[in-house]
Amino acid sequence: MSGKGCICMAETKRTVERPISPHLGIYRMQITMLMSIVHRITGGALYFGTILLAAWLVSAAMGDRAFATVNELFGHPLGKFVLFGYSWALLHHMLGGMRHLLWDTGRGLQPSSADILGWLTILGSLSLTVLLWWFGLSLRGGL
């Protein structure tokens, strides 16, 4: 950062504190902005979450003991928490992606519609996740 000891002109000029163009920190948080961030984070989480799917499939192919071990991990409260988060990330990324596909057609880009779509994404993903787990667990007869 400091230009001390540097003989090139470009470096010494940088010591002057110049105003920089507004970046993320200056904006008020908006739903579209938050959904954009969450879409990327859930995408990144799902990327590593594929390890869970791979573990499930491989253990099923390996045999009883491997399958029991993976089932035990998934059945642990912490494992359930991870699976719950994974299912939410999956549904959220899916709904967010459908919003992007709609935008690709040029529709829903008005600020008001984009805001509504953002709220639909988060409320939809949360309620769908709860609904699916409630449904899945009620089929099994409880946690």
Partner 1 sequence: MSLRTPLAKVRGLGSAKEGTDHFWKQRLTAVANIFLVSFLIVLLIKLAGADHATVRHALAKPQNAIPMLLLVLSGVMHMRLGMQTIIEDYVHSEGTKVAALMLNSFFAILIGITCVFAVLKLSFGA
123 is a contact residue toward partner 1 (CB under 8 A): no
132 is a contact residue toward partner 1 (CB under 8 A): yes
Interface region with partner 1, contact rule CB under 8 A, candidates 4-12, 20-28, 118-126, 133-141:
133-141
Q: Report the residue number, 27 or 47, with the smaller CB distance to partner 1.
A: 47
> Which value, to the nearest 10 degrees, does the dihedral of the CA atoms of residues 138, 60, 126, 96 take?
-150
Query: Which positions touch partner 1 (CB under 8 A)?
Result: 40, 43-44, 46-47, 50-51, 53-54, 57-58, 60-61, 63-64, 67-68, 87, 90, 94, 97-98, 100-101, 104, 132, 135-137, 139-140
